[in-house]
Copies of this chain bind each other. A is one copy, B any other.
Amino acid sequence: MSKGFLLVISGPSGCGKGTVSKELLSRNEDIIYSVSATTRKPRVGESDGLNYFFIEEEKFKNMAKADEFLEYALVHNNYYGTPKEFVLEEVDKGEIVLLEIDVQGAMQVKENYPEAVFIFLLPPTMSELRNRIIKRGTETEEDINRRFTNAFKELEFVDEYDYFVINDKLDEAVKNIESIITAEKLKVKRHNNIREKIIS
């Protein structure tokens, strides 16, 4: 019986972790997406258990106190968190669970669950990162500068990760992550009784 693992794809805003994760999931239907819990109200088209687990603030706080999140954060008055139970159950079943998350969140996960596999997604250059932040088009000049400065600082955390992948071309970045997944699956430590399986 082989154990799965939690794959954390992270990086500064503008590194393209959302796009890369989406493409990775669409090419690998066996990878399970880690669904976050949130106290925010569902938007039109969002469904419980698929986009988020929508829960009440009191329940969220109780779960946080009971140490039931791998990480959580308060963003614009709403809580968001990664329920531990869901991830651990799937990993135990041998599944690969993908968590796409910002650098702060990833560092919380590392603290609580260091056995996860941590990938830092990098922009090819800082000017490309700035272009990507600008291209979102929904932010003021001030927001853009703030995001860019944060991204710059967040790059320091790359040394806390297991792997880095440069997201220059999407296809190449996804293939590199697929190689990391293949290699991690072949790690002896994730398998019990390899010898017995060959012998029998």
Partner of A198, one of B122, B161, B176: B122
Q: CB-nearest residue of chain B relative to A15?
A: B198
Partner of A186, one of B159, B176, B182, B191: B176
For window 94-152 of A, CB contacts with B under 8 Å fall at 120, 122-126, 152
Complex Cα spacing A123 to B195, Å: 10
Does the CB pair B161–A188 fall under 8 Å? yes
Partner of A188, one of B126, B164, B186: B164
Q: CB-nearest residue of chain B relative to A117?
A: B183
A158: chain B residues at CB < 8 Å are 188, 194-195
Copies held by the complex: 2
Does the CB pair A198–B123 fall under 8 Å? yes
Which of A163, A179, A194 has the most B CB atoms < 10 Å from its CB? Answer: A179
Complex Cα spacing A184 to B176, Å: 11
A126: chain B residues at CB < 8 Å are 198-199
Does the CB pair B165–A186 fall under 8 Å? yes
Q: Does A32 count as interface, using CB distance less than 8 angstroms?
A: no
* Given known contacts A182-B176, A183-B179, A188-B120, A198 and B125 CB-to-CB distance under 8 angstroms: yes
Q: How far is the CB of A54 from chain B (nearest CB, A)?
A: 36
Complex Cα spacing A166 to B195, Å: 11
20 A-B pairs, CB-CB below 8 angstroms? Answer: A122-B194, A122-B198, A126-B199, A152-B199, A155-B199, A156-B195, A159-B188, A159-B194, A161-B188, A163-B183, A163-B186, A163-B187, A164-B188, A164-B194, A165-B186, A166-B198, A176-B182, A179-B182, A179-B183, A183-B184
- Residues on A facing B (Cβ under 8 Å): 120, 122-126, 152, 155-156, 158-159, 161-166, 176, 178-180, 182-184, 186-188, 191, 194-195, 198-199
